[in-house]
Chain A
């Protein structure tokens, strides 16, 4: 099954297959949601996450 997209790629001349385009869209929206999460979380939780990530490295 081959996914297809609308013809906006052709119109813009921006060459990208539909799978990449979907993942890129998801990445952008995911980062947007993540930034809201980071902004909404209390500082204590942010510090905890930073500490946990630092402990890995």
Chain B
């Protein structure tokens, strides 16, 4: 099916040219590294650690909610847990995992030798670590960690003890780190593509990341502005959000969600990119509607800026405002449905096999669609008055974050681990991990829909007795899901140490070379597994595949 057949194994040997050198020795390698693969590994390992830290916080929450009454923790600490769980998972887990994947894969996918700005890349990572360490340190401060929820609404958040300025400073660090990472990714994709790798031939993962990077640059400063106003309200006698001084707490909600909604898409767009990369490979079919996928991603990104107030229907907006935000939110379903349709059409009549990455990808399509549908329910302003601030919301966003974003991060890890390490992972344990995760995640989050519809509020450590049964089931699911992730940890460590003993080939997966790229062969699969420390020091020969007509043009 390749339109242009060219042997291009020659670049395998280029790592011995141009005075290439290996990594520095010892711990210093990881501190001063500017190599995109090393920094990608650092990001991924950091994200893995943060998933477990945030996961322990989630288990504390679920343990407390196993039965009514105050069982294990103080209410203030419980509220800190809900807040910190969200912040750690979003800023320490999901975002760094995607940046790690971008660091590892984008240069190899576009035929670049490294990221455009390697030193800034190193700085972004260590600034992230500093931000998360600072944020975590607030747990040990007088008055405890922030406990007003990850949205940090005033006036409640202004009651935080000594931790508030530290949390705000950590948000600044995390924001600057994200922006530097985004600038690097855009510069890499715009400037470093190999000759012949046109924009409309790029793999979808690269496309989704370049759009995500623009979202990051646009909205992180907004969040920084919002929290800085909190800081000045608390310590410098301003009244931005204080009604007594002429301010308005609702203003904070508008500013926060102008950041917050695009942030949701920052978490989900790279997820789409991974799904669009994995599904064609295991369906052994080209991605259906490549260009419509690109335009749908851009449309979702654009729409994310004009729908923010659907998070705050209950504040008392004018009817015209409610109608506008209701309809604009519903419009997002169109490009999203285009994507779901395209993934399904890609699988349609494909010669599918069900290795672990594909299992995660299929479950993502199903469970993300469920999360999307509940989102559509909440977009209906009058209905949202019932759902607002209940467990229905918790169920909704966990469906679009856990079996969607987190599942696809794990799918990506299974998909690329053999490439990164040169070793095959244990497929049986991988599949066991998938089935345990997929079943338990539904036991964990599906009952929360019922709890929300019945009126159970979110962010409470105690609840009325009629909510007991579903909470117990949800907690049991939570513990099964949490402990199942130890299997993932085992697989990662085991694969790094040699895995099954079977060495990974260059291509690893049967359909990877042909269907793993955009309009070209998947460049990363032309490299040895594991790839040499420096890759594509000379531009690779791009092999255009005709399978995707609009991408190949």
Listed in ascending order, the chain A residues whose CB lies under 8 Å from chain B are: 1-7, 18, 21-23, 25-26, 29-30, 32-33, 36-37, 39-42, 44-45
Q: Do the beta carbons of A4 and B217 come within 8 Å of each other?
A: no
Q: Among A3, A6, A21, A40, which residue has its beta carbon within 8 angstroms of that of B224?
A: A40
Chain B residues whose C-beta falls within 8 Å of the C-beta of A30 in the assembled complex: 183
Contacts of A3 in B (CB 8 A): 112-114, 116, 192
A22 lies within 8 A of B114 (CB): no
Closest 7 CB pairs of A and B: A40-B225, A36-B221, A22-B116, A37-B221, A25-B187, A6-B193, A29-B183
Which residues from B are CB-within-8-Å of A6?
191-197
B436 within 8 A of A: no
Chain A nearest CB from B226 CB (Å) reads: 8
Q: A1-B114, A2-B537, A18-B192 are in contact. List 6 more A-B contacts (CB 8 A).
A: A1-B534, A6-B197, A25-B187, A26-B184, A33-B183, A33-B221
Please determine whether A5 and B193 come into contact, CB atoms closer than 8 angstroms.
yes
Q: Which residue of A lies closest to B240 (CB)?
A: A42
The 0/1 profile, CB within 8 Å of A marked 1, for residues 194-232 of chain B is 111100000000000000000001101110111011001
User: Closest CB of chain B to A56's CB: distance in Å?
Assistant: 21
Residues of B within 8 A of A (CB): 18-20, 112-114, 116-117, 120, 179, 182-184, 186-187, 190-197, 217-218, 220-222, 224-226, 228-229, 232, 236, 238, 240, 255, 534, 537-539
> What is the bound-complex CA distance between A50 and B222, given in angstroms?
20
Pairs A–B under 8 Å by Cβ, sample size 5: A3-B113, A29-B186, A36-B217, A40-B221, A41-B228
B225 pairs with A41, CB closer than 8 A:
yes
Q: Judging by beta carbons under 8 Å apart, are B113 and A1 in contact? A: yes
Q: Given A1-B19, A3-B113, A4-B539, verify A42-B218 contact (CB < 8 Å).
A: no
* Closest-CB distance, B301 to chain A (whole angstroms): 16
Q: Provide the residues of chain B in CB contact with A23, threshold 8 Å.
A: 117
A31 to B186, alpha carbons, bound, how many Å?
A: 14
Q: How far is the CA of A38 from the CA of B116 in the complex (A)?
A: 26
Could you say which of B112, B116, B186, B225 contacts A37, with CB atoms under 8 Å apart?
A: B225
Assembly CA distance A26 to B224 (angstroms) = 20
Which residue of B has the minimal Cβ distance to A23? B117
Docked complex Cα distance between A21 and B192 (Å): 10
Query: Complex: how many Å from CA A55 to CA B179?
Result: 28
Chain A nearest CB, measured from B142 CB (Å): 26
A42 contacts which of B18, B191, B194, B232 (Cβ < 8 Å)?
A: B232
